[in-house]
Structure 1
Amino acid sequence: MTATMHQSETELVIVPKRRKKPSRGRSRRPGVLKFGYWWWALPGVVFVIAIHYVATAAGGVFAFTNWSGIGSFDWIGLDNFRKIFADPTKIAALRNTLFLAFGSVILSNVAGLVLAVGLNRILKTRYILRTLFFMPVVLSPLATSYIWKFIFQFDGPLNVILNAVGLGSLARPWLADPTWAIWTVLIVVVWQSTGFAMVIYMAGLASVPVEIEEAAAIDGSNLWQRFWHVTLPSIRPAIAIATTLGLVQGLRIFDQIMALTGGGPANATATLATEVYKQAFSLGNFGYGAALALILTIIILIFAVLQQRVAQGRTTGD
């Protein structure tokens, strides 16, 4: 018992008990304080709800009317949607939309990943190269598209170079050819979006532990095996982000098409986004254009949710 008393006294000396500080006044209720924080964010929340959600909901309502943008309108139900799916030009616009979306996502992500892996190595000029490859992202899509339009003209630099090297048979009016016009748009979109994917992949590669790659190299794995089995699984969150954002941007491509071809020739490069502009603002069929916009919005939501589901499933499975 004496030993126990000595031990307790020693503990009191070495580890003294903390005294509770006397409370001064009433303590603030956390609910009131949190509610006070909301007042600062309230204007921004109101603007976001009014501009994005209320305007989108209003457009969705007009999709079921025959409103021309001015005056009264009648409720016509699903007639606009029946006209859309019965019109071959709108089906072709849907195909072009999906082609540009998936084509730009695949090509820009592959090119961005290759550039990110290459620039992730120790290079003296990697910072300059990062800036050069990312520069097209911050440039205006309209300005760059007009430059590419000059390049793709029949008497432009591309055909001049082809004639100079003896490949004049390949020269053609690229933007006026219904077969090649959609490919020229895809080239411009990929050129401008590759830098964005590169930056996302470089951020993902920065989080890959070097020790894992070194251990794989010691075990005898070559460069491709280390990339496929070590690097690629480690940057799956970056892949999910880059592909989702790229897919959303690809589905609503508008500026490049309007600057390069205007949707032509013969609607060969028309997409749902250009058809929305044409029907709602050029022809005055606002209800019809709103129906096209609603279809485009639903397609974007479906693919974005599916992409996130697939990415989460792979991460959970691992």
Structure 2
Amino acid sequence: MRAPWWFVVPAAAMYLFVVVVPSLRGAVYSFTDWNGMSAEWDFVGIANFVEVVTDRRALAALRNTVVLAAVVTIVQNVIGLLLALALNSVFRSRFVLRVVFFAPVVLTPLVSGYIWSYLLAPRGAVNQALISLGLEGWTRDWLGDPATALYAICLSIIWQFSGYSMVIFLAGLQAIPEDVLEAATIDGAGAWRRFWNVVLPLLNGAVVINLMLSLIGGLKQFDQVMAMTGGGPGIATETISTTIYKNAFSSGEYPVSIALAVVMTMVIAILATIQYRLTLRKAD
């Protein structure tokens, strides 16, 4: 009988050559002046990283990415938790509603972005609904206004992935022993105290997972931004991912793009490590 680790060799080899090797080569190129085509390049030290932290567009993209990730993380998890609490109750249509709220998750982010681009267009469904309610003064070009474009993208992301957070919270809620809740009720705890002092602490693992997944997803957001605004108007909705793409394939600034990608990868790796540590602590 062969050793069990032989079964992971094909997948490990694929991961090594498709992910690890290109990532390491990219990290090396971030310290060079490679133009993306030539086989010759020179080391330039940290010059590319200096350009990243001094470039106005990159800094604007960083700010937008932080705002987007923060808004999406907070709102998506609040909505997901509220949906999970509501649909954890026993009523006839709860299974149908779970499917309905989870359904947007199966769409690709690109499709979700196109749907919301149509809804938020100047003559789209949102503005038409406002007009029909007599709120013409509230209508606007939601994706063409720098003040609202980024939050419109946040709305699209939250709509698509709140159901994903709901499922994780729902799994956590259903793992809570019923006798624990009954004991809290017998002790005189009301609905709010049961939630705050019993349910929420027992949901700690689900909370950590949801927060980290939504935060990391927000930090690397690309598809919906490109589908809805392309980073515009101006640079109002540029994110780190769209800046990497445009620097590499529009401006030909490959080393700067790679340096920015390395920075983003390190940030996400740190967050993933934090999530892993917190999850282990919860398991212990």
Whole-Å separation in 2 of the counterparts to 1:36 and 1:215: 49
SS of 1:174 mapped into structure 2: coil
CA contact (8 A) 1:65 1:287 kept: yes
2:171 aligned partner = 203
1:117 aligned partner = 85
Identity of aligned residues (%): 41
* Deviation of 1:116 (Å): 0.6
1:12 aligned partner = none
Greater mean alpha carbon deviation, residues 183-192 or residues 49-58: 49-58
CA contact (8 A) 1:240 1:308 kept: no
- 1:291 is aligned with what amino acid? A
- 2:182 is aligned with what amino acid? E
Whole-Å separation in 2 of the counterparts to 1:124 and 1:98: 41
- 2:4 is aligned with what amino acid? Y
* Deviation of 1:284 (Å): 1.7
1:191 aligned partner = 159
TM alignment of 1:1-318, pairs within 5 A = 33=1, 36-71=3-38, 72-309=40-277
CA contact (8 A) 1:66 1:285 kept: no
SS of 1:60 mapped into structure 2: helix
CA contact (8 A) 2:146 2:236 kept: yes
Structure 1: gaps spanning 5 or more residues: 1-32
Whole-Å separation in 2 of the counterparts to 1:230 and 1:180: 39
Whole-Å separation in 2 of the counterparts to 1:272 and 1:73: 25
Whole-Å separation in 2 of the counterparts to 1:94 and 1:79: 19
CA contact (8 A) 1:69 1:286 kept: yes
* Cα 1:42–1:280 shift into 2, 3 Å: same
* Cα 1:309–1:36 shift into 2, 3 Å: closer
Which structure has the larger Rg over C-alpha atoms? 1
Whole-Å separation in 1 of the counterparts to 2:265 and 2:150: 22
Structure 2: gaps spanning 5 or more residues: none
CA contact (8 A) 1:236 1:315 kept: no
**TM-score normalized with structure 1 length:** 0.85
